[in-house]
Amino acid sequence: MSDKSLHLRTSEAVSAALNEGRPVVALESTIITHGLPAPHNLETARATEQAVIDAGVVPATIAIIDGRIHVGLDDAQLERLARAGEDVDKCSRRDLAAVLQRGGTAGTTVATTMIVAAMAGIRVFATGGIGGVHPGAHRSFDISADLKELARTPVAVVCAGPKSILDIGLTLEYLETHGVPVVTVGSDTLPAFYSRDSGFPASLRLDDPAAIADMLRLQWQLGLDGVVIANPIDAEYALGVKTMAQVNETAVREAIEAGVSGKALTPFLLARVEALTGGQSLQANQALIVSNARLAAEIARQL
């Protein structure tokens, strides 16, 4: 057992699947603790796990509880995270050791979930959207740790593209510079979270889970690292590109005026987007998370 694995508390179901070589999909927990309001956070967490199970794959929701890294949660633990409110932290790479040291409880970001998944031997991870370069980053240097993690951790992140509140062009430039492949599923244009078309062309299009799994297998045989799998939101839940551009501009302006930055920025922006869209973005967010989990499970089955 490695020193790293000593810190993991892996559930019986996940441990059995990994030992037997059965597919497992990692799921993050900041969606539960910070990304969605109650009771939608718990409902979505349960629906996401069920989507993975329905595909014949084992879900492994990752979180830190009382200073222990958990890989695979039971329903009581999901409920605890969903109801924790301000008592729970948001843990990225820089925070991980400190949260463990103080015995804290935290939702894991995309970056931290990738780290833990890799420690546990899980190669496929589903989330809503990845973080990236925020508008105005040339002044603030506000760039999500998710991007750097993709460049150094060999895990595939199935998402609906970069969050729509980001500067998507600069996010793509950063990923290209750091050698991170961005695969778009079944479309010639990159999705932008709530919208199916970001206006940016897909750098690589693959149309089915088997082809994606083949590409991932080669990526890791070559000793390369993370991959973004951008899965467009289902058309029935998608929001218009122009509408979202206006909403995002308003939300960013309000964040600047309120002096919101750092860890608080993304939750603030998502909450304002929900309010400005009359709740439509919340429904879209829930739908895309479940859709991404379903695709991640199909990819994991092919690996």
DSSP string, 178-244: TT--EEEES-SB--BTTBS--SSB-SEEE-SHHHHHHHHHHHHHTT---EEEE-PPPGGG---HHHH
* 126 membership: H or E segment, kind and range: strand 124-126
Task: In whole angstroms, give the CA distance from residue 165 to residue 131.
Answer: 9
Contact in structure between 257 and 265 (CB atoms under 8 Å): no
Q: Is 15 marked as a binding-site residue? A: no
28 counts as catalytic? yes
Q: Is 89 marked as a binding-site residue? A: no
Q: Is 214 marked as a binding-site residue? A: no
Q: Catalytic residue, from 28, 49, 149, 298: name it.
A: 28
Task: In whole angstroms, give the CA distance from residue 149 to residue 144.
Answer: 9
**Which residues, at least 6 apart from 227, have a Cβ–Cβ distance to it below 8 Å?**
150, 156, 157, 180, 181, 182, 183, 215, 216, 219
Task: In whole angstroms, give the CA distance from residue 185 to residue 202.
Answer: 9
163 counts as catalytic? yes
- In three-state secondary structure terms, 279 is coil
Question: Parallel, antiparallel, or unpaired: how do β-strands 227-230 and 156-159 relate?
Answer: parallel
Q: Is 145 marked as a binding-site residue? A: yes
Give alpha helix (H) positions in 66-189.
Answer: 75-83, 96-101, 110-120, 137-140, 145-150, 168-177
Task: In whole angstroms, give the CA distance from residue 276 to residue 250.
Answer: 9
Q: Catalytic residue, from 49, 163, 274, 298: name it.
A: 163
Q: Is 188 marked as a binding-site residue? A: no
Q: Is 144 marked as a binding-site residue? A: yes
Which positions make up the binding site for Mn(2+)? 142
Instruction: Indicate which residues carry an active-site annotation.
Output: 28, 163
Which positions make up the binding site for substrate? 90, 110, 144-146
Which positions make up the binding site? 90, 110, 142, 144-146
